[in-house]
Chains A and B, each alone.
Chain A
Amino acid sequence: MTADTSAASPFEASGLTVAWGGRPVLWNVDLRLPARGLAAVVGPNGAGKSTLFKAALGLAPVLTGQVRLLGEPVARVRRRIAYMPQRNSVDWDFPVSARDVTAMGLYGRVGWFRRLRRRDLEAADAALDRVGLGNYRHRQIGQLSGGQQQRVFLARALAQQAELLLLDEPFSGIDTASEAAILDVLGELEGEGRHIVCIHHDLRTVAAYFDHATVLNAVVMASGPPAEALAEDTLRRAYDASGLKPRALAAE
């Protein structure tokens, strides 16, 4: 096994500072995620985790610094990146089915004007099958459970056949079956050589699910294998600043 540092990093931030309307959210972030393994980004609410992804994709205003995805500026590699936003940013009443949303992952390849052909719909259905939602392809997305909704967005990312997947809290508020299904698929994708970075909400499962963890609260507090990164004093520094006590420390 070659060391991680010799392979190109799929997610590299240097000196990244981002502010929303004048209020800094990310400060001088330097980050270099490994090429192999599932990577997690953790931190208290409002720590800037979602903003990190948005800045990487050009969806947030960057004051200084830069981010390179797959070794390039994002504008050149957009087609190779899949982004799954947080669940609460979606209009669940929108009149689309699970298959419609999954097929959106194919739009980049299908182009603007061509109608979706049977081949495209079959590709979308195959992605839905892979996340275990084959029987729900015609359901309007608001009629799915939270975990199923997350799986639909994962199916969309699968349909894109992206090399880098940025997932914002994919395991938050979902049932155990969905959690297991998503974890399985992510493992498969990583085995295929794709890069996965997840914002994760639950400190208790980071070590079990992920190979690499980054603790973020406006600045990077630690980044490495979970056992090292989630050291007690690091977590205390990260979470005390926001006044929240993570469950991992609550027992003391």
Chain B
Amino acid sequence: MTGAEVGPVEVLTFRAGYNTGVVMAGAAALGAAAGGVGTFLLLRARAMAADAVGHATLPGIVLAFVAAGLLGADGRSLPVLLAGAAATGMLGMAAAEALTRSTRLAPDAAIAIALSVSYAIGIVLLSWVQTLPQGSQGGLESFILGQAAALSASEAVGLGVAALVALAVLLALFRPFGLLCFDEDHARARGWPVARLDAALLALGVLVTVLGLQTVGLVLVVALLILPAVAARFWSERLKGIFWLSIAFGAGGAFLGAAASAVWPRAPTGASIVLALGAVFAASLLAAPRRGIFAEAFRRGTAGWRLRAARALQAGRGYPGAALVGWRRGGRPTARGAAAVARLELWDRCLAESPDALPAGLAWGIDPLPPEALAQLGRRNR
């Protein structure tokens, strides 16, 4: 990477140089893999475990650097550092699991302990290593917040390919993972190797975490795993939909964040990527038509009014605002107002006769009754 600043347009259209383009593509592949794995981690409620892994990688990175140096190898070789990261990352998670299983500690407390203690160990090791002659040139602290500028083209290609392999494995195991996340008891009863599937999912999580260390940094890599999946959840009610949307969000966010890092080389890549993903999340939270908070607030806010207005109309009275929405005119209900009252009366009957025929999630008295509930009403009358 040259020291001169490159314009955003050049960067986004892959005209800022081979290195930059490859790094951005690698980041996109990584984001895609993180989005995919993150979907299942989220549904399996293992997001915090991913955070523990991320933080526990720091001691491993430092130790791998020192060990490589002692053995005469290149301490800054990325595969070496990532191998060390993976080793201690898994140790940290294993420690959290062991704490949960052997004491009465709740999982989140155990993870918090493993996460913070291993990270602290890493920080201490890091400051010690930087007093060593070769340590200060290690650039190891770039693993904390991510520095895509430090990636060479070949390293980026390696990461990208590994990420795509992880994604391929995930696709192959899509159905077993889906079953595991939805109904563990059923899977166990049917003889599926639940423990091994869990281990495979976490192994994929560790892999993606470790791949993301150089780009996003260990502190924020959990966000790369979780944010795309959470944002995708707002838009789809199907597992496949959430999965592919999460991959798209992850790839897009990582791509934009890496691009930002190319335009402003001193900006920490990890933060740029997470901000991009955070924006996607915020947009989803606000704008999603069914699960977004605006939609929810509107539904909830009007539900009380609509119920009270319909009741008032049913009793032959007026209600503030009824004329405004066209439910009442000239002191009597309009066709729409009468329809609202009719709906309310169907609800009265349904709740009195067969309340169990109702699905969850309906606004009582307001939403149209589903056909199966109406059918039950008819049946009772015969």
Contacts and interface: CB of A to CB of B under 8 A. Distances in A.
Interface of A: 54, 57-59, 75, 78-79, 81, 83, 85, 89-92, 94-97, 100-101, 104, 107-108, 110, 112-113, 116, 140, 142-148, 156, 173-178
A14 B241 CA distance: 48
A127 to B, nearest CB: 15
A199 B41 CA distance: 33
A205 to B, nearest CB: 15
B329 interface: no
A95 B236 contact: yes
A57 B361 contact: no
Contacts of B238: 95-97, 100, 140
Contacts of A140: 237-238
Interface stretch (B18-26, B124-132, B141-149, B184-192): B184-192
Nearest to A157: B186
Contact of B191 (A75, A143, A174): A75
Highest count of chain A CB atoms <10 Å: which of B354, B359, B370 = B359
Contact of B173 (A58, A91, A97, A112): A112
Interface stretch (B78-86, B88-96, B218-226, B372-380): B372-380
Contacts of B372: 145, 148, 177
Contact of A175 (B179, B236, B356): B356
Given A94-B43, A108-B190, A145-B372, 8 more contacts: A79-B191, A83-B189, A113-B172, A143-B359, A145-B358, A146-B356, A148-B359, A156-B186
A71 to B, nearest CB: 18
A143 B361 contact: yes
13 contacts: A58-B188, A94-B239, A95-B233, A96-B238, A100-B238, A104-B183, A107-B179, A110-B175, A113-B173, A116-B175, A140-B237, A144-B359, A146-B356
B62 to A, nearest CB: 39
B357 A177 contact: yes
A116 B174 CA distance: 11
Interface in B333-382: 354, 356-361, 370, 372-373, 375-376, 379
Contacts of A147: 356-357
Interface in B162-213: 172-173, 175-176, 178-179, 181-183, 185-186, 188-191
Nearest to A86: B185
Give the bracket for the number of chain B residues in contact with chain A: 35 or more
Nearest to B191: A78
B242 interface: yes
A145 B359 contact: yes
Given A147-B357, A177-B357, A81 B189 contact: yes
B101 to A, nearest CB: 12
A145 B179 contact: no
A145 B357 contact: yes
Interface in B49-85: none
A90 B358 CA distance: 18
A59 B189 contact: yes
Nearest to B172: A113
A127 B151 CA distance: 54
Given A79-B190, A112-B175, A175-B376, A89 B185 contact: yes
A94 B177 CA distance: 13
A140 B233 CA distance: 14
Contacts of B358: 145
B342 to A, nearest CB: 22
B379 A177 contact: yes
A166 B149 CA distance: 59
Contacts of B181: 94
Nearest to B359: A145
B376 A92 contact: no
For the complex of A and B, 8 pairs with smallest distance between CB atoms: A78-B191, A175-B357, A175-B356, A83-B189, A57-B189, A145-B359, A140-B237, A95-B239
Contact of A100 (B176, B189, B190, B239): B239
Contacts of B375: 177
Contacts of A112: 172-173, 175-176
Interface in B235-251: 236-239, 241-242
Nearest to A91: B182
B190 A78 contact: yes
A8 to B, nearest CB: 21
Contacts of A145: 356-359, 370, 372-373
A82 B294 CA distance: 43
Contacts of A79: 190-191
Nearest to B371: A135
Nearest to A111: B175
Contacts of A90: 183
Interface in B244-277: none
Contacts of A92: 360
A110 B239 CA distance: 19
Contacts of B182: 91, 94, 96, 101, 104
Contact of B376 (A58, A75, A176): A176
A83 to B, nearest CB: 4
A144 B372 CA distance: 10
Contacts of A96: 178, 182, 238-239
Contacts of B189: 57-59, 78, 81, 83
A59 B185 CA distance: 7
A114 to B, nearest CB: 9
Contacts of B172: 112-113
Contacts of A59: 185, 188-189
Given A78-B191, A107-B190, A175-B357, A83 B185 contact: yes
Contacts of A146: 356
